[in-house]
């Protein structure tokens, strides 16, 4: 009887852990969806060369060198802003630039995304379909 009770308790603990993990995944997805609802215009898709292409303007973007997302690979992301950094300058020498500007100018500067969040592409359709229908994306 004790063994049966112990097995039942262990099964309940495992089931509770699995439920808790599932709820946490769902909460993280809700948070990421809320970020998409605010930053849908700054969506970018991973390209074969490891860069990202902004869906709105087609600019080539890189993940900022100090971003956690630099170590991860996400096929689709949204970002808060971009910084313009010269290939020859240090990280402290960057200047903010609008997302609509070219990713690289004549001085060899590149656009780096900051505050990057991995997303699911269907979230763009669900949360901002009106915007991407208008752009023809």
**pLDDT confidence of 95, banded at 50, 70, 90?**
very low
pLDDT above 60 (res 132): yes
Provide the H-helix boundaries in the chain. 2-39, 121-135
State residue 89's pLDDT score: 41
The count of residues in the chain is 137
State residue 56's pLDDT score: 87
State the pTM of this model. Answer: 0.71
31: three-class secondary structure by DSSP: helix
Rounded CA-CA distance 110/105 in Å is 7
State residue 14's pLDDT score: 87
Mean pLDDT confidence for 38-65: 94
Rounded CA-CA distance 32/27 in Å is 9
How many Å from the N-terminal Cα to the C-terminal Cα in the chain? 63
């Amino acid at each position: 009887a004790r063994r049966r009770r112990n097995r039942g308790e262990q099964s309940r603990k495992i089931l509770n852990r699995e439920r808790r993990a599932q709820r946490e995944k769902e909460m993280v997805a809700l948070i990421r969806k809320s970020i998409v609802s605010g930053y849908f215009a700054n969506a970018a898709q991973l390209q074969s060369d490891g860069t990202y292409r902004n869906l709105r303007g087609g600019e080539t973007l890189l993940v900022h060198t100090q971003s956690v997302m630099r170590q991860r690979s996400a096929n689709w992301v949204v970002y808060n802003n971009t910084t313009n950094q010269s290939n020859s300058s240090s990280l402290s020498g960057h200047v903010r630039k609008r997302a609509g500007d070219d990713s690289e100018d004549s001085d060899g500067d590149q656009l780096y995304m900051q505050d990057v969040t991995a997303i699911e592409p269907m979230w763009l359709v669900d949360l901002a379909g009106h915007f991407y229908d208008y752009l023809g994306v």
